[in-house]
Amino acid sequence: MALISVAMTSEDETEIGAALQMLLNSDCGTGYMHESFASNNGCQLTRDYFAWPNSYFAEMFEAKWREGKLTKAILSLPRHQCGKKKPPDTSVDQV
């Protein structure tokens, strides 16, 4: 949630873009924001789901959109997932 606060309070588009990129890369393929994660592994989460970071992220995104701080360059930053969680293998072994 600290990264959301960085983006929320910053006026610097580079800092906002970097925070947004880190946030989007740390969702671990879930599409959710998280309360916190390990600095060296964005998929090591304190909780799998916690609604407050999602709401705070939406509030930040809307505020920065209204301020004109979310430029096309920021919104098109590449995403590098941190090791997406893989769905369980449901295939049946053929014997």
Q: pLDDT tens for residues 24-60?
A: 887 777 888 888 877 777 677 787 778 898 999 999 9
Say if residue 34 is exposed, middle or buried (CB neighbours under 10 Å; 0-12, 13-18, 19+): buried
Q: pLDDT tens for residues 75-84?
A: 887 766 655 5
- What is the SS3 assignment for 39? coil
Of 44, 20, 45, 25, the residue nearest 34 (C-alpha): 45
- What is the SS3 assignment for 42? strand
Count the neighbouring beta carbons within 10 Å of the beta carbon of residue 59: 12
Q: Are 29 and 42 in contact (CB under 8 A)?
A: no
Q: Alpha-carbon distance 36 to 43, whole Å?
A: 10
- Residue 88 binned pLDDT confidence (cut-offs 50, 70, 90): very low
